[in-house]
Amino acid sequence: MANKKVIIIGAGMTGLCAGSYLQMNGYDTEIFELDNGEKHSADIVVSAADGFDTIYNMRENDRAKYKEEKQKIADRVIQELEKKIGNIKDKVEVIDVATPATFNRYTNNWRGSYEGWLPGPGALMVTIKKELPGLNNLYMIGQWVEPGGGLPNTIRSGRYVAQIICKKDNKEFEVKK
C-alpha cells in the first residue's frame, strides 16, 4: 500500500522538522513554501533590545521624529557593518527598520514582543490544541501554537505533529538516526 502523504505549509524550522519526523515514520511529505528563493541576495537582520514606551509614544505623537530616528538607526547599522565587512552601502537594495512599535502594529504582539509570547507564569505551561473544530486532518504547527516561541519549541512542534499523526494511525512513533 502506498505511504500516506502529508502536506506541510511553510519550510521554516517547524515545517522541516515535521517533514523529517514524518519521513522517519514512513510518511511521504511535500512542503509548500511561499518564499521561492529566487532573489539572489541575502538578508541581514540586526536586532537590538530596547524599551517599548519611548518609541511607541514617539510614533504616536511625532511621526517625523520617529521616521528620522529610524533613518538614524539604519545609517548607524550600515556604518557599523561597513567597519566589519567593507563597503555594503551601495549594494543594499532594501532596508527596513522595525521597532517595537512596528511589531506591535503588524502583529498586535504585547508591547512589540518579537516572539509573540510573554513568558509569564500563566503562559508557559499552556498547551494549545493543534486541531480546529470541523477541519479534519489539519494541524497547526510552529511558534504561534507553542507558548514561549523560539527554535527549541518549533522543533518540538514539528516532532509533536508527527507523533499525533502516528497515534491516529495506530503506529508506534520512531526516531531514526
Ligand X SMILES: Cc1cc2nc3c(=O)[nH]c(=O)nc-3n(C[C@H](O)[C@H](O)[C@H](O)COP(=O)(O)OP(=O)(O)OC[C@H]3O[C@@H](n4cnc5c(N)ncnc54)[C@H](O)[C@@H]3O)c2cc1C
Contact set with ligand X (CB under 6 A): 9-15, 32-35, 45, 47, 114-115, 142-143, 149-151, 154
**Residues in Cβ contact with 111 at an 8 Å cutoff, skipping those fewer than 6 apart:** 52, 56, 100, 104
Task: Give me the amino acid identity at 63.
Answer: R
Closest-approach residue to ligand X (CB): 12
Q: Least distance (Å) from ligand X to the CB of residue 1? A: 29
Q: Least distance (Å) from ligand X to the CB of residue 13? A: 4
The angle subtended at Cα 52 by Cα 48 and Cα 53, nearest 5°, is 140
Q: Least distance (Å) from ligand X to the CB of residue 142? A: 3
33 vs 53, beta carbon nearer ligand X? 33
| Residue spans of alpha helices (H) in 13-171 | 13-24, 53-61, 63-85, 100-107, 121-124, 150-168
16 vs 165, beta carbon nearer ligand X? 16
Short-list 168, 162, 117, CA closest to 27:
162
144 vs 171, beta carbon nearer ligand X? 144
74 vs 171, beta carbon nearer ligand X? 74
DSSP type of residue 111: G
Q: Least distance (Å) from ligand X to the CB of residue 172? A: 26
